[in-house]
Amino acid sequence: MRNPSLIKEEFLKRWIIALRRCTSLKKNMNILERNKVVKLSADLAMASARNGTTSWSRALIANATRDNDNRILAEQILGPESEILVKRVSTMPFKTCNRRKIRSKRILKRSCSSAIRRVRKTVPRKVLANCIAKRLIQKRTHILKSLVPGGEFMDETTLMEETLDYIAYLRVQVDVMRSCTYC
């Protein structure tokens, strides 16, 4: 695993820069805005730290820049590198082609479920258990996909890599923020 403290360093640095940039825009913010700002800046900080190498970071940036009201803020936070990043993010054509994929997968699933119902009566126990286990795994993968940003558009292998990365990032974020609050 990569050196965690270096990641923390990087994250803290970027977060601080981002927060400073945010707060320079607006001097007085109410609580909700602050919350949003903190979260957004932290997310973008880490995502920019990955420099678009990982999919979840790209998805994060894409989500952040999608809404118009956040967009300006996000671009301010990201700073001068924002255009490069945003370009890279927008060139990932994962949105459109994956809708078709998702639709076709759903159709497949529906057809498969009907096939399975027919099969279940004639199938021996072992295979049935196998089916059930695989169903469980699929459900869980689906949940995981919804958790990891940008996860719905990935296949399973990339999903696992992204999860690894994402967990590391979340840990770093939690550690840094915890030490911020407890001082």
Instruction: Look up residue 83 and give its amino acid.
Output: E
What are the residues whose beta carbons fall under 8 Å from the beta carbon of 71, sequence distance 6 or more? 64, 65
Instruction: Look up residue 69 and give its amino acid.
Output: D
Query: Which CB, 99 or 140, lies closer to another protein?
Result: 140
In whole angstroms, what is the distance from residue 100 CA to residue 47 CA?
A: 27
SS3 67: coil
Least Cβ distance, residue 9 to another protein (angstroms): 5
Least Cβ distance, residue 140 to another protein (angstroms): 4
Query: Which CB, 82 or 145, lies closer to another protein?
Result: 145
- Burial label for 10, CB within 10 Å (0-12, 13-18, 19+), is middle
Least Cβ distance, residue 78 to another protein (angstroms): 15
Q: Which residue, among 38, 72, 71, 78, has the nearest Cα to 57 in the 3D structure? A: 78
Least Cβ distance, residue 91 to another protein (angstroms): 16
In whole angstroms, what is the distance from residue 63 CA to residue 67 CA?
A: 7
Least Cβ distance, residue 7 to another protein (angstroms): 7
Query: Which CB, 1 or 68, lies closer to another protein?
Result: 1
Place of tokens 């997968």: 105
Query: Which CB, 72 or 167, lies closer to another protein?
Result: 167
Query: Which CB, 63 or 163, lies closer to another protein?
Result: 163
